[in-house]
Homo-oligomer: A and B are copies of this chain.
Amino acid sequence: MRAEEMLQTLVAHGYRLTEPRQALLEVIACRPGWFSVRELSEDLGQKKIRVGRATIFRTLNLLVDLGLLERVRGANEVEGYVVTGAGEHHHHLICSRCGRVEELPECPVAERLAELAAERQFQVVSHNLEVYGVCIQCLRQESLEQEK
- 4 A-B pairs with least C-beta separation: A108-B112, A121-B136, A124-B133, A127-B131
Complex Cα gap A95–B120 (Å): 13
Query: Could you say which residues of chain B place their CB within 8 Å of the CB of A139?
Result: 121, 123
Query: Could you say which residues of chain B place their CB within 8 Å of the CB of A116?
Result: 104-106, 108
**A135 near B: Cβ within 8 Å?**
yes
Complex Cα gap A132–B126 (Å): 5
Complex Cα gap A6–B116 (Å): 28
| Residue interface mask A83-122, B partner, CB < 8 A = 1 | 0000000000101100000101110110111011100111
Nearest B residue to A125 by beta-carbon distance?
B133
Contact for A77 among B71, B77, B132, B135, CB less than 8 A: B71
Complex Cα gap A53–B96 (Å): 29
Are the CB atoms of B136 and A132 closer together than 8 Å? no
**Contact of A129 with B117 at beta-carbon distance under 8 Å, contacts A71-B77, A135-B122 already known:** no
**Contact of A131 with B113 at beta-carbon distance under 8 Å, contacts A96-B125, A120-B136 already known:** yes
Query: Could you say which residues of chain B place their CB within 8 Å of the CB of A18?
Result: none
Query: Could you say which residues of chain B place their CB within 8 Å of the CB of A73?
Result: 73, 128
Query: Could you say which residues of chain B place their CB within 8 Å of the CB of A135?
Result: 122-123
